[in-house]
Structures are given as C-alpha cells and as structure tokens.
Amino acid sequence: MRMANQRGNAGLTLIELVAAMALFALVAVMGLQVLGTSLRQRDRLHMLEREVAQLSLGLALLRNDLSTMVPLLFHPPGGGAQSALLLSRDGRRLSFSIGGQPDLAPIAGGGFHRVEWRLDPQTQQLMRRVWPVLAPATANAVQPEVAYFDGVTGFSLRSHWPQLGWLPGVDSTAPRAAAESGSDGDGALTMVANRYSDSLPQAVEITLQINGIGSVPLLESLQ
C-alpha cells in the first residue's frame, strides 16, 4: 500500500515531460504563425488604406480640374497657341485651361490657369503642375510638378463632340480658334476675343490603369 502511494507521488516521467514540452512547442509555433498572419494582414490593410486615400485625393483633384475647364487657348512662353484641351502625341501629357479655382488664386493671383497632368512611365506616377496664367512671360513661371498617383501604368482619353460622338483623344492637336463673326460692330474686340477663345467637347472620359486595381474610369461633363 505504501509503495503504491510512493509511485503516485513520483511526478512525471521523462517521456511524459518530453511529450508535454513538444505539445507546448507546437502550440507556441501555431500561436506565432497566427500572430504573424495577423500582423501581415494589418500591414496590408494599412497599405490599402493609404493607397485608397491617395487615389481618392488624386481623383478628386483631377475631377475638380476637369470641372473647371474653360474654352481658352494657352499661349506658352515659346510662342504659338495651344488648344484649350490638348493631349500630347505620345498620349502621356494632358493639359487644359481652367478657371474659378479659389485654391490657386493666392498663388496665381486669380483668373485663369493652365494645368498639366503627365504620366511618368519609369516611376509609374501621374504628375501635376500648374501655369499661373494662360500667357506666361517665361518658362520659370510654371509651378513644380507634384505626384498624386502611384502605380499608374497608362491612361487613355476620349472626348464627346456634337454630331461626332465619342472620339479617341481630343478632336485635334492643332489650335481650334473660334470662327470670327461679323454680325456685330465690335470688329476689333471680336478679333481679340477669337484669338484667345476655343471650343471644348461636351464631355471627356479618362481611364487610368493602376497596379492592383485595374481600370479606373473618370467621366466628366463639360457642358
């Protein structure tokens, strides 16, 4: 009877101890895996949150620029005139005349401005810069470029014109000055106005190709 009590109080055997340690190690490894997965998911969610916030900011700014587009030609410092809405031949630079943006008034002195959106294929960023006036005196007047989109692999544009419907790009890369009218008596004023006036499409649609998201269309009515 005494020997049975001594065996009951002898404690764990070596095999039982090894089994308990192995079980504890297995539970610890599983816990670390769950913790690591949770941390990776948290980091991924934070990254997606930053990407969505940046995308929302960029889309809001681009839409705001498009909504304030005006039918006025741009006269760069090198001379000549550019259409109110212009897409470069390589399809990577979109520029257009804008007006009525209070945020630009303190910097540019109010009035009308020229905004440029440019795709940098190497950095996959969509850059934005602003000319303070539509007829700048020097090339130094333009503001520095600022990146608002990351992971952009391409963008396309189409425009809707009366009696023509949807066309790829813009109507023409050449200036589209309004035709002069001789119906009134302000001949000199009409010529000056026509020198700076232009025509705009009824609507534009810009489609961005963004890594991890795909196609992001942006449709804006101009009339």
Is residue 165 domain-resident?
A: no
Pairing relationship of beta strands 125-131 and 112-120 according to DSSP bridges: antiparallel
The residue range of the domain holding 63 is: 50-150
Residue 137 in any domain: the answer is: yes
Handedness of CA 119, 81, 168, 202 (dihedral sign): positive
- Asked if residue 217 is part of any domain, the answer here is no
- 90 in any annotated domain: yes
Half-sphere exposure of 138 (CA within 13 A, CB side): 2
> Structural domain tally of the chain?
1
Task: Please report the pLDDT score of residue 144 as a whole number.
Answer: 92
The answer to whether residue 28 sits within a structural domain is: no
Residue 128 banded pLDDT, cuts 50, 70, 90:
very high
Residue 54: inside a domain, yes or no? yes
For 205-223, what is the mean pLDDT? 88
Q: What percent of the chain has pLDDT over 90?
A: 19
CATH number at 107 reads 3.10.610.10
Q: pLDDT by residue (tens digit) across 113-127?
A: 999 999 999 999 899
Least confident stretch, 9-18, 60-69, 203-212: 9-18
Assigned domain for 193 exists: no
Q: For residue 91, is it left (φ>0), alpha (ψ between -120 and 50) or beta?
A: left
Which residue(s) pair with 207 in the sheet?
Answer: 156, 217
Q: What is the pLDDT of residue 178?
A: 41
